[in-house]
C-alpha cells in the first residue's frame, strides 16, 4: 500500500522540482519498482553529512530533528536547545514514504520547535531539488507564520518547492558557492504507455456518466497531445500561488525588473545572492553558530 501511494505521488501529481532531479527521481523509482534497489538502500548511499554535522554540535544548544523514522528512534524533542534544526532533504512529498519524512511530518517538527520554550531560533537545513505541490504551501506557511526567528540554510540544492519552503524564513543563507538555488516554476510529467500497451495487446476503455463531461478532461486532452487546458487551468494557477508567495517572502529583496527569478532559472549561490534569492553566503558550521549566537540575544 505504501509503494502504491508513493507511485501516485511520483507519477500523477504536479511537481515543483528541478527538471534533472525529476528525471533522476523517476529513474530511482523505476529501479525500486523492479526490485533493483530499495528506499532503505538509497538512504544508506547518503554521504553522512547529517551525522557529521550532528556530531560537530553534539555538546551545544543546537538540536537536530530527524528526517526519517530510523533516526527518530533517538530523538527526544528540542527541550533545552535554543536552536532547532529541521532537515529538509531530498525529493519532497507530503506524506511519509518508506522511512523518509514527508513535509507534513517536517511541518509538525517546526510546530514542536515553536512550542518548545527554550527554542529561540528555528533553522531549516535544506538540500532538496523540490517535490510535489501537495504539502508545500502548508509547510511554507507554517514557517512564515511562526513568531520565532527563522533561518534557512541551503546546503547543496534549494530548488522549486524547496525554495518556496526556504524563502519563507526571515533569513536565507547559502552554505556553499556551488549551491544551486531557484528553479521557481511548476511542471507535471508522466509516461504515456499507449503505444507500448498496443504492442502488448492491452486495450484501455473508459466510460463516463452523461453529465461528467469535464471529468479527467485536461488529462485526456493532454494524453492526446493537447496540454493547453492542463497548463491554463492547473499549472498556471498553481504557479501563480508559488511565485506570489516567493514575491511576498522576498519583498524588497528581489527586483524582477533587474532579474526575473520566477521563470524557472537556477542560479549558483553568488548569482542567487545578487538576485536577492539569498541574503548571505557562509559555511554551514558558521551559519549554525550564527543562529546560536542570535538565539542568545533573544529573550
Q: Which residues pair with 92 in a beta bridge?
A: 131
In the chain the beta strands, taken as DSSP E runs, fall at: 15-17, 62-64, 83-89, 121-128, 130-132, 149-159, 171-174, 180-182, 266-268, 280-281
Cα gap 153→172, rounded to integer Å: 6
Instruction: Give, in order, the Cα–Cα distances in Å from 244 to each of 161, 183, 237, 250.
Output: 13, 15, 10, 10
pLDDT value, residue 13: 54
In sequence order, the 6+-apart residues with CB closer than 8 A to the CB of 224 are: none
pLDDT value, residue 253: 98
pLDDT value, residue 289: 94
Burial classification of residue 78, based on how many CB atoms lie within 10 Å of its CB (0-12 exposed, 13-18 middle, 19 or more buried): buried
pTM of the model: 0.83
Contact status, residue 275 vs residue 170, Cβ threshold 8 Å: no
pLDDT value, residue 170: 97
Q: Residue 25 CB: number of other CB atoms within 10 A?
A: 18
- Architecture field, domain 2-187+254-297: Alpha-Beta Complex (3.90)
List the domain boundaries for the chain: 2-187+254-297
Cα gap 83→61, rounded to integer Å: 6
State the 10-residue block means of pLDDT for the chain, 299 residues long. 44 54 54 53 53 71 91 91 95 85 96 97 95 93 97 96 97 97 90 86 92 92 92 95 98 97 97 98 95 93
pLDDT value, residue 2: 40
Pairing of strands 121-128, 149-159: parallel
SS3 164: helix
Cα gap 168→246, rounded to integer Å: 8
Cα gap 130→134, rounded to integer Å: 11
Residue with cell 519552503: 165
Q: Which residues pair with 122 in a beta bridge?
A: 84, 150
pLDDT value, residue 116: 97
pLDDT value, residue 38: 46
Cα gap 93→116, rounded to integer Å: 26
In sequence order, the 6+-apart residues with CB closer than 8 A to the CB of 167 are: 140, 152, 245, 246, 249, 250, 277
Residue with cell 507535471: 188
Q: Residue 297 CB: number of other CB atoms within 10 A?
A: 9
All cell numbers assigned to 14: 504536479
Residue with cell 487551468: 233
Amino acid at each position: 500500500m505504501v509503494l502504491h501511494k508513493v507511485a501516485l505521488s511520483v507519477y500523477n501529481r504536479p511537481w515543483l522540482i528541478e527538471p534533472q532531479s525529476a528525471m533522476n527521481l523517476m529513474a530511482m523509482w523505476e529501479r525500486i519498482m523492479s526490485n533493483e534497489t530499495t528506499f532503505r538502500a538509497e538512504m544508506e548511499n547518503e554521504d553522512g553529512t547529517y551525522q557529521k554535522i550532528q556530531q560537530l554540535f553534539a555538546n551545544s544548544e543546537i538540536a537536530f530533528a530527524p528526517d526519517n523514522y530510523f533516526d527518530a528512534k533517538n530523538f527526544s524533542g528540542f527541550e533545552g536547545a535554543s536552536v532547532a534544526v529541521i532537515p529538509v532533504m531530498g525529493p519532497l512529498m507530503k506524506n511519509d514514504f518508506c522511512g523518509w519524512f514527508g513535509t507534513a511530518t517536517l511541518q509538525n517538527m517546526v510546530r514542536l520547535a515553536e512550542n518548545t520554550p527554550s527554542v529561540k531560533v528555528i533553522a531549516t537545513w535544506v538540500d532538496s531539488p523540490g517535490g510535489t505541490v501537495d504539502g508545500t504551501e502548508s509547510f511554507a506557511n507554517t514557517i512564515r507564520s511562526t513568531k520565532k526567528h527563522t533561518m534557512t540554510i541551503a546546503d547543496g540544492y534549494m530548488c522549486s518547492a524547496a525554495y518556496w519552503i526556504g524563502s519563507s524564513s526571515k533569513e536565507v543563507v547559502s552554505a556553499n558557492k556551488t549551491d544551486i538555488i531557484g528553479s521557481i516554476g511548476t511542471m507535471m510529467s508522466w509516461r504515456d504507455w499507449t503505444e507500448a500497451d498496443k504492442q502488448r495487446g492491452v486495450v484501455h476503455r473508459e466510460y463516463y456518466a452523461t453529465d461528467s463531461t469535464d471529468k479527467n478532461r485536461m488529462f485526456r486532452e493532454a494524453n492526446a497531445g493537447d496540454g493547453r487546458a492542463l497548463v491554463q487551468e492547473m499549472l498556471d494557477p498553481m504557479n501563480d500561488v508559488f511565485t506570489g508567495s516567493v514575491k511576498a517572502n522576498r519583498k524588497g529583496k528581489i527586483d524582477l525588473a533587474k532579474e526575473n527569478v520566477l521563470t524557472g532559472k537556477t542560479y549558483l549561490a553568488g548569482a542567487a545572492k545578487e538576485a536577492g534569492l539569498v541574503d548571505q553566503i557562509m559555511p554551514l558550521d558558521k551559519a549554525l553558530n550564527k543562529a546560536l549566537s542570535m538565539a542568545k540575544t533573544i529573550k
